[in-house]
Chains A and B, each alone.
Chain A
């Protein structure tokens, strides 16, 4: 059963911010939100995760709503190399379940 809902695809212009949404209305109190991405023909790459506070690292920012029912991954200045499938995953101290993700296409 999918715990998250993501749009199947999104477009973004190079240099602009890419904002990828994710709904997780049934998230439990001890579950984290994880974001991974998979560039074609490569293994998935961990991006960021958070529990309830917003998080930022060198790759992206994660904004989690106060009720924790949704989140947004922000790539502040998208490049062509950010074209990939982005997975939003909810998990506690349990294994990850990958859904279909969002195919982000960054265009010149």
Chain B
């Protein structure tokens, strides 16, 4: 069965802390994505990656960075967490085959609270 796992279901951090959110997929997918979801704003794409060591900015990359050193792992980094980064963070992956790029498999999400 297809699986995308995220390191934590719930996380509480303090303003100014460096935060790492980890995502691992076991499907050998080329593409990986990070979204955040907020009430009234829906899901918004932060960053995505279509290959190891490759990254592309999504719609709201400010305040975030990413790392993809291995194909199965995609990390989202908050260099200095702020309260407006309190949100649900969702990771997804998809195959790189033509026509399947947007057939994304999502993880369960990490609810991050920044105090």
- List residues of chain B with CB within 8 A of the CB of A95: 33, 45, 48, 58, 102
* Interface residues of chain A: helix, strand, loop or mixed (majority): loop
Instruction: Assess whether B42 is in contact with A98, with CB atoms less than 8 Å apart.
Output: yes
**0 or 1 for each of B59-88: is its CB under 8 Å from A? (1 = yes):** 100000000000000000000000000000
Shortest beta-carbon distance, B11 to chain A, in Å?
Answer: 15
**0 or 1 for each of A71-108: is its CB under 8 Å from B? (1 = yes):** 00000000000000000010101011111110000000
Chain A interface, number of residues (Cβ within 8 angstroms): 20
Which residue on chain B has the smallest CB distance to residue A93?
A: B101
Instruction: Assess whether B90 is in contact with A91, with CB atoms less than 8 Å apart.
Output: no
* 5 sampled A-B residue pairs with Cβ under 8 A: A32-B102, A42-B108, A95-B102, A98-B35, A98-B44
